[in-house]
Amino acid sequence: MLTSRAAQERDTAAQFVSRMDGDGWSDADESELQAWLAQDPRRHGLLLQVQAHWLALTPADAASEAADPPQIEDEEAAPVSSRWARRGVIGAMAASAALGFVGWRWSQTPSAYVTKLGEIRRLPLSDGSVMTMNSGSELTVTMAEQAREVQLTQGEAWFEVAKDAKRPFVVAAGDVRVRAVGTAFSVRRRETGVEILVTEGVVETWSDGDSGLHMRLQAGDRAMLSAHAVIDYETGVSSSVDRTLAWRSGMIDLNGRTLYDAADEFNRYNQRQIIIADPRIAREQFDGLFRINDPAGFAEAVKASLGVSLDTSNPDIIRVQQ
């Protein structure tokens, strides 16, 4: 159980978060918050934790709504010097006592997160880390006393990990594990394996299905692993890693990708699917930077560049053909 002082601190943080959610947050409120934070540096982390749990209260139904046009939803807890708002579902909650208890439990039990088709969601975690989930992803997060664990069921997420040597940060995707202390990396579940891209620091990856499969990756490295083998590995490809992760900004960056791969990438985000009808066209390579929610614009660029034709008679399909 929380000590009386810890409970009082969490109650105060919860009260601030509750007030931030309303429309009446004033400069005086902001000054009061900053004065409270300045008295103890640990309160910054506490406020982030309470905010993160508040975000986790989103009703599960929201994840199953019909897909809207692709969107980026930045739910990162803003720096504590700025205002923060929780859209929608709070109402008249008694935040003081309720969040003091629930926030404590949140650090002990898994929290589930889902993104729908076309949604990119940025979320703070209670330890100060931040994760950005790509379209159509599902994962659970457990913040325990000795470890921080993420189970990636499907899709992809990029993690900016807060340093905490006593609590390693481990992402599990099937049999594949990725461990970091303080770094930034992405993990994506594909049909053929698990893709890992490192943008900062160093990570270790291994397989629970094969004790001999163990790798150490650093910034600019990319690896694809299955339960029993390293399928692909590249080192020192920082620019390629950055282009692959352009989705974090709502973009698809093609640099010599085949049209088949490009179409597959657009189809991750959109109800309207691109079909490359001719295998000879599918092998053509293409460059360009496109919005994830603009498959029609991409198709028109392909038409102009390669002289192909488009069949858009079906509103749900763009067929690229000779």
Pair (223, 285) in one structural domain: no
Confidence of residue 86 (pLDDT cuts 50, 70, 90): very low
The residues with which 123 forms a beta bridge, in sequence order, are: 131
Q: Return the pLDDT at 51.
A: 72
Pair (155, 233) in one structural domain: yes
Tell whether pTM > 0.85. no
Q: Single out the residue of 69, 75, 64 nearest to residue 115, CA to CA.
A: 64
Q: In total, how many domains does the chain have?
A: 2
Of 209, 240, 271, which closes a domain? 240
| Domain range for 314 | 250-321
DSSP-derived pairing of the beta strands 156-160 and 130-133: antiparallel
Whether 96 has a pLDDT exceeding 50, the answer reads no
Pair (80, 185) in one structural domain: yes
Pair (204, 121) in one structural domain: yes
Question: Could you read off the pLDDT of 219-271 as tens digits, one per residue?
Answer: 999 999 999 999 999 999 999 999 999 999 999 999 888 999 999 999 999 99
Of 240, 270, 292, which closes a domain? 240
Confidence of residue 71 (pLDDT cuts 50, 70, 90): low
Question: Could you read off the pLDDT of 14-62 as tens digits, one per residue?
Answer: 778 777 766 667 878 888 888 888 888 778 777 877 776 665 554 444 4
In a domain, 139, yes or no: yes
Q: Return the pLDDT at 18.
A: 72
Of 240, 267, 296, which closes a domain? 240
In a domain, 141, yes or no: yes
The residues with which 148 forms a beta bridge, in sequence order, are: 143, 169
Whether 101 has a pLDDT exceeding 60, the answer reads no
In a domain, 160, yes or no: yes
In a domain, 290, yes or no: yes
Pair (258, 231) in one structural domain: no
Q: Return the pLDDT at 102.
A: 43
The order of strands in the sheet holding 71-74 is 71-74, 119-124, 130-133, 156-160, 184-189, 194-200, 222-225, 230-234
Pair (142, 189) in one structural domain: yes
Whether 72 has a pLDDT exceeding 90, the answer reads no
pLDDT (mean) for 209-217: 92
Mean pLDDT score of the chain: 82
Pair (260, 164) in one structural domain: no
Lowest-confidence pick of 2-11, 121-130, 153-162, 171-180: 2-11
Pair (233, 276) in one structural domain: no
Indicate which CATH number applies to the domain containing 213: 2.60.120.1440
Q: Return the pLDDT at 170.
A: 97
Pair (144, 274) in one structural domain: no
In a domain, 154, yes or no: yes
Pair (89, 108) in one structural domain: yes
Pair (291, 187) in one structural domain: no
**Cβ-based neighbour number of residue 91 at 10 Å:** 6
In a domain, 184, yes or no: yes
- Residue labelled with tokens 């003091």: 100
Query: Residues of the chain with pLDDT > 70: what percent?
Result: 79
Question: Could you read off the pLDDT of 262-301 as tens digits, one per residue?
Answer: 999 999 999 999 999 988 899 999 899 999 999 999 999 9
Indicate which CATH number applies to the domain containing 313: 3.55.50.30
In a domain, 245, yes or no: no
Q: Which helix (H) or strand (E) holds 179?
A: strand 176-180
Q: Return the pLDDT at 12.
A: 84
Pair (139, 211) in one structural domain: yes
In a domain, 289, yes or no: yes
Q: Return the pLDDT at 244.
A: 95
3-state secondary structure of 12: helix
